[in-house]
Chain A
Amino acid sequence: MRWLAVHCPTLPLEVFTLREPGGAGIAPPAGSEPSPALPRVVIEDNRVVLADPAAVAAGIQPGSTLATAHAICPALRHYRREPDQEARWLRRLAEALHAFSSQVSLVPPAGVVVEIGASLRLFGGEEALVAAVRAACLALGHQVVCRTAMTPLAALALARAECPEPTKALTEALTEAPTEALTEALTKVPLAAAAIESDRLTPAIIEQLAGMGVRTLGQLLALPSEGLASRFGSDLVDYLARLTGTRPDPRQALVPAPYFRRNLHLLEPVRSRDVLLGLMTRLLNALQHWLLARNLGVEELAWRFTAAGRARPPLVVGVRFSTAQQRQARLLEISRLELDRTQLPDEVIGIGLSAERLQSWRGDSTTLFRWLPGTAQPTELGRLVDRLEARLGRGTCWSIRARDQHMPEAAWQPVAPLRAVAPLRAVAPLRGVAPLRAGPTAKPGPTARSGPRPPRATGPAPRPGRRPIWLFVPPRPIRSSQLTLLRGPERIETGWWQPDTATRTDPPEVAQTTALPQARWRDYYVARLVNGAECWVFVDTHTRWYLHGYFG
């Protein structure tokens, strides 16, 4: 077992800056100077509990009152601490860390412990893994301190020793701790930093120990445990046992939520598209981590943009993918194209993202010979379709299938590209969906429907009909004087077994004038038009001629 503790020292401030357009975690637009940071502090009970570097540079100390802070720095921005927001963001951070391990537990108020012993090999060693975790947290907009140790408590103590806990009680205790003791060695970790679970190592105990001259964990561990137990209770001994690993310390693993739905309520309305895209990138980043943790891919997601100042339902922008996706870059690319076609509200105050349709993730496989032409992967084929559909609109990209129907109009159908099995719905029962070699079954002549009588054909066997590459939908009326017949006739009859449906397949004017349900047929010919084009024409029951296709 190897534990990684992720400590988020500036979480109380980050829950505000992450909701500010242009706040932490959003890269400023390229080429522009980062705006001079305004000093910010978080206050609790009218006292500063956390100050950002700008505020510290101005001379504001944690623990000072708000009035003092404002006196030092009039341009100060202050936020009232929101512990429930902190808990929510910490949980999101922890869920993102599922990408690194299945064993992730929360340690409120600002810590997460991850069991990494099983993941070391996959990520290429401890250093690489810790660097990846830190990068992932930064991408989500969190400054973190990462430390590893053999027990979760030791890792936490080390991480927190780097950055002291910014609560009021402990800042007071900290001032007594010797600053030179802040090194990585566990023995030199000040007790105040180790005090995580308040019921075990309470500030009162720490104060008592300080009075005895015990200020670091090393000093505390050197004391006999019997004496400690009788003076401070068994809780403290239990804590030390779990810290050193002599007693097991089971942790409850965090279970990722079964669905993904995030809302980002901004503190100020956003007017710029670039800032909006930055915020969207971060939400998609969270989605990617969530998908990785649950081993899922998303096929459809929905964005919700809430306009500022009006009580209107949010604008929903749906984004669909032909194959399930997991990577943030792909999700962003298609979302951005979809946004190009959408009129966004002028001022956006809230962004929501939800995964609407999910699919288990099959993983990316690559070919060995990627550089060879003609070896595109299904995912790459889907990428093109997604990009085209996002820009041109739904239904502008389709593929075609042949159907086993003998009416020429019904013998094909458009299908969504990359759907392996086309959804087939037909009035007549299908014999199969295999592609037809010789076009749909054509009735060769009257004998085909003459019931039990044996065919008496003595002439040449009719050749399978030719089919044109171009089809007209619907057929166009044409004057027969323009035609020279080259091949035919090929009789196609329809609907004689169904009294009413026959009219559906005829051109509308025919459908109106035809009263008789029986004897609906077409005689198809290959013909040449006067301009030399070869075409497919038919003459119907009323001896009207129609152009139905071109032999392209």
Chain B
Amino acid sequence: MATPSSAFREPSVQSELPARSLQTLLEHPALWRAGQLQRAPAAHPSGFPELDAHLPGGGWPRAGLAECLLDTTGVGELRVLAPLIRALSRSEARWIAWINPPFTPYAPALAALDIDLERMLVISPRTHREAVWALEQTSRSGSCSLALAWLDERQLGPRDTRRLQFAAQQGQMLTCLFRPAQAAATQSMAELRLALAPAGPGRLRIDIRKRRGSWPVSGIEVQVETPDSPEAVYVQLDHWRRQRAAAVTDAVTDAKEPADLAPVDTATALDASPGVSNSPVDAVAPVTH
């Protein structure tokens, strides 16, 4: 991995520019110099050591705009952020904003991840302009620690990302923008761009497309979930089948109470074609008594 070389020094400034205007230019928050990279930027650990090793400062940036590029929802894009969300919701008395989420953030799942639900603020604007306005407001206010945003890709330009990056810096907040994978081709002012793709059961492949201070890197794999094996389904259905057998015995001895046989029929249907895909489940007839 390319790391910023210590030989890379700031050139001494030889310019006709008045010193004051140069100073104002250097104070611009969107401008950074290579020399500043010696000092690691403030970061939150992501909870995944494989990922932290490649992120500048060893984690998610504390302030700024990060982009997650993904083709489909459900690859684990929020599970990879979950340790960060949990840490921020527990440690900071600020909002975690969900701006224009594509579906409903499901409270029991977030609670099961030990995330403090009191900090969640879901904002559902009606138009793209309102969404960008809301995101800028949450950024500038300084009362948000993290914003997760889904914006209209067709109306989002490099100028918007520049404004969002600027606002996030101003409010000391991390904005995480979720965009489709083809947005990687467009220009963006985000300081971190990650492409996410599924990589096997419970695994997520992360390609860093842009980061501060060094080159892109690809092929990082993180385990976002303990993997499930399809066998588990059959173990469970087998368990149900044995219960059915017991229930049938009971039904013979005690005819008053009819046993509920419904799950066993799903189980039998899956059993009918073991090993292969589970497609024949459609063919199961409803159970009536």
In this complex, what residue of B is CB-closest to A523?
Answer: B266
Q: Are B62 and A399 in contact (CB under 8 A)?
A: no
Q: Is the interface of B mostly helix, strand, loop or mixed?
A: mixed
B105 contacts A by Cβ under 8 Å:
yes
Interface 0/1 of B102-132, CB less than 8 Å to A = 1111111111101001101111111000100
A486 contacts B by Cβ under 8 Å:
yes
Known contacts A488-B233, A543-B286; A529 and B143 CB within 8 A of each other: no
Q: Are B286 and A486 in contact (CB under 8 A)?
A: no
A278 contacts B by Cβ under 8 Å:
no
**Complex contacts, A397 vs chain B, CB 8 Å:** 121-123
Q: Are A468 and B95 in contact (CB under 8 A)?
A: no
Closest beta carbon of chain B to A541's beta carbon, Å: 6
Which of A110-118, A183-191, A433-441 forms contacts with chain B?
A433-441
Q: How far is the CA of A158 from the CA of B48 in the complex (A)?
A: 77
**Residue of B104, B109, B225, B289 with most partner-chain A CB within 10 A:** B109
Which of A10-18, A290-298, A411-419 forms contacts with chain B?
A411-419
In residues 334-389 of chain A, which contact B (Cβ within 8 Å)?
A: 373-378, 380-381, 383-385, 387-388
In this complex, what residue of B is CB-closest to A521?
Answer: B262
In residues 428-463 of chain A, which contact B (Cβ within 8 Å)?
A: 435-440, 445-447, 449-451, 453, 456-460, 462
**Complex contacts, B78 vs chain A, CB 8 Å:** 469-470, 552
Q: Are A457 and B286 in contact (CB under 8 A)?
A: no
Q: How far is the CA of A396 from the CA of B106 in the complex (A)?
A: 17
Q: Are A439 and B93 in contact (CB under 8 A)?
A: no
Closest beta carbon of chain A to B89's beta carbon, Å: 11
Closest beta carbon of chain B to A430's beta carbon, Å: 15
Interface 0/1 of B180-202, CB less than 8 Å to A = 00000000000000000110010
Q: Are B104 and A543 in contact (CB under 8 A)?
A: no
Number of A-B contacts (CB under 8 A): 267
**Complex contacts, B114 vs chain A, CB 8 Å:** 437
Q: How far is the CA of A440 from the CA of B238 in the complex (A)?
A: 24
Q: Are B246 and A402 in contact (CB under 8 A)?
A: no
Q: How far is the CA of A531 from the CA of B260 in the complex (A)?
A: 36
Q: Are A516 and B247 in contact (CB under 8 A)?
A: no
Which of A32-40, A88-96, A532-540 forms contacts with chain B?
A532-540
Q: Are B74 and A436 in contact (CB under 8 A)?
A: no
Q: How far is the CA of A488 from the CA of B234 in the complex (A)?
A: 9
Q: Are A533 and B74 in contact (CB under 8 A)?
A: yes
A173 contacts B by Cβ under 8 Å:
no
In residues 519-534 of chain A, which contact B (Cβ within 8 Å)?
A: 519, 521, 523, 525-526, 528-529, 531-534
Q: Are B172 and A373 in contact (CB under 8 A)?
A: yes
Closest beta carbon of chain B to A365's beta carbon, Å: 13
Q: Are A439 and B246 in contact (CB under 8 A)?
A: no
In this complex, what residue of A is CB-closest to B235?
Answer: A460
**Complex contacts, B130 vs chain A, CB 8 Å:** 391-392
In this complex, what residue of B is CB-closest to A395?
Answer: B124
Closest beta carbon of chain A to B123's beta carbon, Å: 5
Q: Are A412 and B108 in contact (CB under 8 A)?
A: yes
**Complex contacts, B91 vs chain A, CB 8 Å:** 374
A25 contacts B by Cβ under 8 Å:
no
A259 contacts B by Cβ under 8 Å:
no
Q: Are B230 and A376 in contact (CB under 8 A)?
A: no
In this complex, what residue of B is CB-closest to A481?
Answer: B279
B250 contacts A by Cβ under 8 Å:
yes
B263 contacts A by Cβ under 8 Å:
yes
Closest beta carbon of chain B to A507's beta carbon, Å: 16
In this complex, what residue of A is CB-closest to B140?
Answer: A384
B145 contacts A by Cβ under 8 Å:
yes
Interface 0/1 of B253-276, CB less than 8 Å to A = 000010110110010001000000
**Complex contacts, B117 vs chain A, CB 8 Å:** 399-402, 435
**Pick the contact of B107 from A402, A450, A532, A542 — CB < 8 Å?**
A402
Known contacts A400-B117, A460-B239, A468-B106; A543 and B284 CB within 8 A of each other: yes
**Complex contacts, B240 vs chain A, CB 8 Å:** 445-446, 489
A120 contacts B by Cβ under 8 Å:
no
Q: How far is the CA of A150 from the CA of B29 in the complex (A)?
A: 59
Q: How far is the CA of A521 from the CA of B260 in the complex (A)?
A: 11
Known contacts A469-B79, A489-B263, A543-B286; A387 and B233 CB within 8 A of each other: no
Q: Is the interface of A mostly helix, strand, loop or mixed?
A: mixed
**Complex contacts, A70 vs chain B, CB 8 Å:** none
**Complex contacts, B235 vs chain A, CB 8 Å:** 459-460
Q: Are A552 and B238 in contact (CB under 8 A)?
A: no
Q: Are A529 and B74 in contact (CB under 8 A)?
A: yes
Q: Are B266 and A539 in contact (CB under 8 A)?
A: yes
Q: How far is the CA of A489 from the CA of B88 in the complex (A)?
A: 34
Q: Are B108 and A440 in contact (CB under 8 A)?
A: yes
Q: Are A485 and B278 in contact (CB under 8 A)?
A: yes
Q: Are A456 and B72 in contact (CB under 8 A)?
A: no
**Complex contacts, B172 vs chain A, CB 8 Å:** 373
Q: Are B125 and A396 in contact (CB under 8 A)?
A: yes
Closest beta carbon of chain A to B134's beta carbon, Å: 6
**Complex contacts, B201 vs chain A, CB 8 Å:** 486, 528
In this complex, what residue of B is CB-closest to A398?
Answer: B122
Q: Are A373 and B141 in contact (CB under 8 A)?
A: no
**Complex contacts, B250 vs chain A, CB 8 Å:** 453
Q: How far is the CA of A408 from the CA of B107 in the complex (A)?
A: 10
**Pick the contact of A532 from B72, B93, B225 — CB < 8 Å?**
B72
A473 contacts B by Cβ under 8 Å:
yes
Q: How far is the CA of A469 from the CA of B109 in the complex (A)?
A: 5
Q: How far is the CA of A521 from the CA of B262 in the complex (A)?
A: 9
Q: Are A374 and B112 in contact (CB under 8 A)?
A: no
Q: Could you tell me which A residues sit within 8 Å of B by CB distance?
A: 373-378, 380-381, 383-385, 387-388, 391-393, 396-403, 408, 411-414, 417, 435-440, 445-447, 449-451, 453, 456-460, 462, 466-473, 479-481, 483-489, 491, 516, 519, 521, 523, 525-526, 528-529, 531-535, 539, 541-543, 545, 549-552
13 A-B residue pairs with Cβ-Cβ distance under 8 Å, sorted by A, are A374-B91, A375-B92, A381-B143, A384-B137, A398-B124, A450-B259, A469-B105, A471-B104, A486-B232, A489-B266, A533-B75, A543-B282, A552-B73
Q: Which 7 residue pairs across A and B have the least CB separation, nearest first?
A: A459-B239, A533-B74, A374-B92, A550-B74, A532-B198, A412-B107, A552-B78
